[in-house]
Amino acid sequence: MAGVPFDQMTGKIWFNGSLVEWADAQVHVLTHGLHYASSVFEGERAYGGEIFALREHTERLHESARILDFEIPYSVEELEAASRAVLKANNFVDAYLRPIAWRGSEMMGVSAQANTINVAIAAWQWPSYFNPEERRKGIRLDFAEYRRPDPRTAPSKSKAAGLYMICTVSKHMAEKKGYADALMLDWRGQVAETTGTNIMFVKDGVLHTPLPDCFLNGITRQAVSKLARKRGIEVIERAIMPEELGSFQEAFLCGTAAEVTPVSEIGQYKFTPGEITFSLMDDYMKLVDPSLEEKKLAAVG
């Protein structure tokens, strides 16, 4: 299944202020970010040449860094221009973008007060986060063993690389059992999110979603909530216990990479992707991809 490794692809990467060849975007093995996860990142998608919610993502990158006690040495405007330049330099119209900032090599102890802050932005073509056939039928989730940490234990509002350690392990465990992903509970035992997306449920025409008080309040989650309200669908943010999952009819994930993805199973609980999920899937695609109608017409014509 593995294609060309990511470090061996070709193209241009924005690296500390300029566009460089893919192969030249290197870091040394003695880099603080690698040893201590002093790194924050973003995941963005471009549709029809436009990066969706670029301002929100770029501001979140700045805020994620501040939470980890560092300042990104490029303004939001500079990073936005760099993201657009990466897209253009690689001739991408639809693509996934990965901005990342990390502490460099001047100090290699836990303290890194003097380390320079490095920033890179790469882009690649990443069509669907989940298997496209499985996606419309709904994907299957297992329950993860790890829980989202208490905000007093970890910087849960930062999109910090270190927080993904438990996500990779949880996703691996789920995949080994034949599931597509894992649902993580939080430190209190409430439903939180999956390893890379937020989650929403439908009960009697109303959307229910966990309060994002110890995990990312995703940009997709916020966009989908707005779209739902626009349709007159009530959105309730509240604590959701895993025992309640049997009372929901539909469930779906939302995130930049996964977009809106229906869920058919979570452990012993079953869901049937239905009208609300499919309408919000369509609404979301229309919102993020203004060129969608033209593409449909081109496909038909």
Residue 99 contacts ligand PLP per CB under 6 A = no
For ligand PLP, which is the closer residue by CB, 55 or 296? 55
Q: How far apart are CA 294 and CA 6, in angstroms?
A: 31
Taking the complex as a whole, the smallest distance from the CB of residue 52 to ligand PLP amounts, in Å, to 10
Backbone angles phi, psi at 66, to 5 degrees: -60, -40
Residue 210 contacts ligand PLP per CB under 6 A = no
For ligand PLP, which is the closer residue by CB, 119 or 183? 183
Residue 193 contacts ligand PLP per CB under 6 A = yes
Options 159, 177, 230, 286, the catalytic residue: 159
Q: How far apart are CA 208 and CA 202, in angstroms?
A: 6
CB of 124 within 8 A of CB of 10? no
For ligand PLP, which is the closer residue by CB, 115 or 201? 201
DSSP bridge partners of 208: 201, 236
Residue 216 contacts ligand PLP per CB under 6 A = yes
Pick the binder of ligand PLP from 31, 156, 198, 209 (CB under 6 A): 198
Residue 196 contacts ligand PLP per CB under 6 A = yes
Pick the binder of ligand PLP from 218, 225, 250, 260 (CB under 6 A): 218
Which residues are within 8 A (CB) of 222 and not within 5 positions of it... i.e. 6 or more apart? none
Within 17-76, the residues that bind ligand PLP by CB under 6 A are 43
Within 103-132, the residues that bind ligand PLP by CB under 6 A are none
Residue 158 contacts ligand PLP per CB under 6 A = no
Q: Which of 25, 8, 28 is nearest to 16 (CA)?
A: 25
CB of 197 within 8 A of CB of 218? yes
Applying CB under 6 A, what is the total number of residues that bind ligand PLP?
13
Taking the complex as a whole, the smallest distance from the CB of residue 138 to ligand PLP amounts, in Å, to 19
Residue 156 contacts ligand PLP per CB under 6 A = no
Distances (CA, A) of 64 to 139, 156, 240: 30, 9, 26
Within 232-251, the residues that bind ligand PLP by CB under 6 A are none
Q: Which of 52, 41, 130 is nearest to 87 (CA)?
A: 52
CB of 218 within 8 A of CB of 255? yes
What secondary structure does DSSP assign to 187-211, as a single string? TTS-EEEESS-EEEEEETTEEEEE-
| Half-sphere CA count of 100, side-chain side, radius 13 A | 21
Pick the binder of ligand PLP from 99, 104, 138, 255 (CB under 6 A): 255
Taking the complex as a whole, the smallest distance from the CB of residue 215 to ligand PLP amounts, in Å, to 6
**Active site annotation includes 159:** yes
Residue 219 contacts ligand PLP per CB under 6 A = yes
Residue 256 contacts ligand PLP per CB under 6 A = yes
Pick the binder of ligand PLP from 220, 261, 264, 277 (CB under 6 A): 220
Q: Which of 64, 96, 60, 53 is nearest to 76 (CA)?
A: 60
Task: Give the catalytic positions in this structure.
Answer: 159
List residues binding ligand PLP (CB under 6 A).
43, 193, 196-198, 215-216, 218-221, 255-256
